[in-house]
Amino acid sequence: MNTPASILSSIDRQLHNQNNHPLSITRKIIASRFPSFKTHNTIFPVVTTKQNFDSLGFPPDHPGRSRTDTYYINKETVLRTHTSAHQADVFHANLSDGFLISADVYRRDAIDRSHYPIFHQMEGAMTWDRNASGPFLKRIREDLESLPKIENIEVSDPNPTIHPERNPLQGTHSAEEVGLMAAHLKRSLESVVVEIFTHARRAALTRGDDLPTKLEPLKIRWVEAYFPFTTPSWELEVFWQGDWLEVLGCGIIKQEILDKAGVSNRSGWAFGLGLERIAMLLFSIPDIRLFWSQDQRFLSQFSDTAPIKPFQPFSNKPGTTKDVSFWLNSTSSAAGGAVGKEFHENDIMELVRGVAGDLAEDVRLTDAFTHPKTGRKSLCYRIFYRSLERTLTHEEANGLHEDIRKKLVEGFGVELR
Ligand code: PHE
**Is 230 near ligand 1, meaning CB less than 6 Å away?**
yes
**Residue 336 above 60 pLDDT?**
no
The verdict on 247 and 213 lying in the same domain is: yes
Domain termination site, one of 265, 299, 333: 299
Q: Which of 14-28, 87-101, 115-129, 209-223 has the lowest mean pLDDT?
A: 209-223
Asked whether residue 312 is assigned to any structural domain, the reply reads no
**Is 124 near ligand 1, meaning CB less than 6 Å away?**
no
Asked whether residue 308 is assigned to any structural domain, the reply reads no
Asked whether residue 309 is assigned to any structural domain, the reply reads no
pLDDT at 313: 93
On the 0-12 / 13-18 / 19+ scale of CB atoms within 10 A, 105 is: buried
C-beta neighbour count of 325 within 10 angstroms: 16
As a whole-number percent, the residues of the chain with pLDDT over 90 amount to 89
Query: From ligand 1's centre to the CA of 174, what distance in Å?
Result: 23
Mean per-residue pLDDT for 328-342?
Answer: 57
**Residue 280 above 80 pLDDT?**
yes
DSSP assignment of 277-302: HHHHHHHT---GGGGG---HHHHTT-
Q: How high is the mean pLDDT of the chain?
A: 94
Q: What is the CA radius of gyration of the chain?
A: 23
Q: Where are the alpha helices (DSSP H) in 206-344?
A: 255-260, 275-283, 296-299
Asked whether residue 286 is assigned to any structural domain, the reply reads yes
* Candidate of 58, 82, 101 to mutate for ligand 1, largest count of ligand atoms within 8 Å of Cβ: 82
**Residue 266 above 60 pLDDT?**
yes
pLDDT band at 333; cut points 50, 70, 90: very low
Mean per-residue pLDDT for 345-369?
Answer: 96
ipTM greater than cut 0.95? yes
The verdict on 282 and 342 lying in the same domain is: no
* Candidate of 30, 91, 227 to mutate for ligand 1, largest count of ligand atoms within 8 Å of Cβ: 227
Domain termination site, one of 236, 267, 299: 299
pLDDT at 228: 96
Mean per-residue pLDDT for 94-99?
Answer: 96
As a whole-number percent, the residues of the chain with pLDDT over 70 amount to 95
Domain containing 408: what range? 320-416
**Residue 338 above 70 pLDDT?**
no
Closest residue CA from atom 4 of ligand 1: 82
The verdict on 369 and 227 lying in the same domain is: no
pLDDT at 341: 54
**Is 87 near ligand 1, meaning CB less than 6 Å away?**
no
Closest residue CA from atom 9 of ligand 1: 271
pLDDT tens figures, 111-149: 999 999 999 999 999 999 999 999 999 999 999 999 999
Mean per-residue pLDDT for 361-378?
Answer: 94
Q: How many domains does the chain have?
A: 2
The verdict on 366 and 241 lying in the same domain is: no
3-state helix, strand, coil in the chain (%, to 5): 35, 25, 40
Asked whether residue 307 is assigned to any structural domain, the reply reads no
Q: Which of 17-21, 160-164, 336-340, 354-358 has the lowest mean pLDDT?
A: 336-340
**Is 247 near ligand 1, meaning CB less than 6 Å away?**
no
The verdict on 195 and 336 lying in the same domain is: no
**Is 271 near ligand 1, meaning CB less than 6 Å away?**
yes
Query: From ligand 1's centre to the CA of 97, what distance in Å?
Result: 19
The verdict on 295 and 333 lying in the same domain is: no
CATH number at residue 381: 3.30.70.380
pLDDT band at 337; cut points 50, 70, 90: low
Task: Write 255-260 long-range contacts (CB < 8 A, 24+).
Answer: 255/170, 255/172, 255/173, 256/57, 257/55, 257/56, 257/57, 257/87, 257/88, 257/91, 257/229, 258/91, 258/127, 260/55, 260/88
The verdict on 106 and 163 lying in the same domain is: yes
The verdict on 117 and 149 lying in the same domain is: yes
pLDDT band at 37; cut points 50, 70, 90: very high
The verdict on 284 and 330 lying in the same domain is: no
pLDDT at 315: 84
Mean per-residue pLDDT for 262-286?
Answer: 97
Mean per-residue pLDDT for 286-295?
Answer: 97
The verdict on 285 and 326 lying in the same domain is: no
The verdict on 120 and 56 lying in the same domain is: yes
The verdict on 208 and 355 lying in the same domain is: no
CATH number at residue 108: 3.30.930.10
Asked whether residue 141 is assigned to any structural domain, the reply reads yes
Q: Pick the atom of ligand 1 nearest to 82's CA.
A: 4
Q: Ramachandran region of residue 94, left (φ > 0), alpha (ψ -120 to 50) or beta?
A: left
* Candidate of 62, 84, 233, 234 to mutate for ligand 1, largest count of ligand atoms within 8 Å of Cβ: 84
**Is 203 near ligand 1, meaning CB less than 6 Å away?**
no
